[in-house]
Structure 1
Amino acid sequence: MAATSRGTTPEPPDVRPRLTVLSGPSGVGKSTVVAHMRKVHPQVWLSVSATTRQPRPGEQDGVQYHFVSDDEFDKLVANGELLEWAEFAGNRYGTPRRAVQERLESGEPVLLEIDLQGARLVRESMPEAQLVFLAPPSWDELVRRLTGRGTESPEVIERRLGAAKIELAAESEFDVTLVNTSVEDVARELLALMDVV
């Protein structure tokens, strides 16, 4: 005879929020989407990366980045304290692991805005993370955005476009693709994916 239970309800499944990773090619608008999203829903916690680069004017330690020395960064890597890290333009950037885990455990939605290499490393160490790829409406539009900044030399733009082709080719590695035709629409779709209403 099968066992039955009376008057008990099943335990609800663990509904802790998943880590959401937003990635995509340079110039696609990741930072703009995240800034808009956090203005509308400030409860979404965006991880602050550690970096070995020097602060730019107006940047504050712990706000834009945690600014650390090369030796301090070496220690973070050696002690397994970074969820992911990468080198870009001669500086290193990484996501502190403990802060992300603490926020997830406390039930807060957590967002990482990182590059392709970082997203791949997060997938290895946290397979349950949700990886979201932000794509441009078209290649021509991405070229227009990258060249329209007017802040970089032709050589740097060429390098960024070459990297963008590689990054666009990795779209299939992600769980979801959002096309950035409208910052407001993409921010709304991203919030829905994160179960933030």
Structure 2
Amino acid sequence: MTYSGRVTVGGPADVHELKDLMITKVAVGPMENNAYLLRCRATDEQLLIDAANDAEALLGTIGDDGIASVVTTHRHGDHWQALAEVVAATGARTYAGRYDAEGIPVPTDVLVDDGDVVRVGQVELTARHLVGHTPGSIALVYDDPHGHPHVFTGDCLFPGGPGRTTNPADFTSLMDGLEEKIFPLPDEAWIYPGHGNDTTLGDERPHIPAWRARGW
């Protein structure tokens, strides 16, 4: 089956099969959050991005192999409702951006800064710190050596624009960060957002001037 990135709460997961990495996308909770389970093909080690809600569903997706780590993209509550239960069940190490960790009520084992590498088995993900949606949001970039990059953007970038900000300064900061750290990637870079369908940088890039002009 071809990966579409379209999932619904209570529906089946969708799996993006890359040469070195399997990416399983599932939607959970009343806010229709996306959670992503990454599995290194060489080692079978797994990492979860955003234990957002519905621990039972997430643990079912994780399966008997468990997870080594869970990354929380940012401090907003809809992205960590199941974190405590998932960590208790799996013993996973927790990762979060340095400037958002204090807003997450589960202790963060590893504070993540811009440019840090987060590993799942033999696969490396590079963290990009983006300020504006929250002070410490992080995106994770997997630069697939066999293809194009794959970017997990949390709530910083969606189809149709950047994530929500509450004032012009935060909007400008988020847009500056996206243009400096994310949009230099090629058009083929696949975007996995915190809610909704996936997109590519090529689909979004032409609209940057319009986003700047509208201010959101």
TM-score, length of structure 2 as denominator length:
0.34
Larger helix percent = 1
TM-score, length of structure 1 as denominator length:
0.36
Larger strand percent = 2
Who wins on radius of gyration, i.e. which is larger? 1
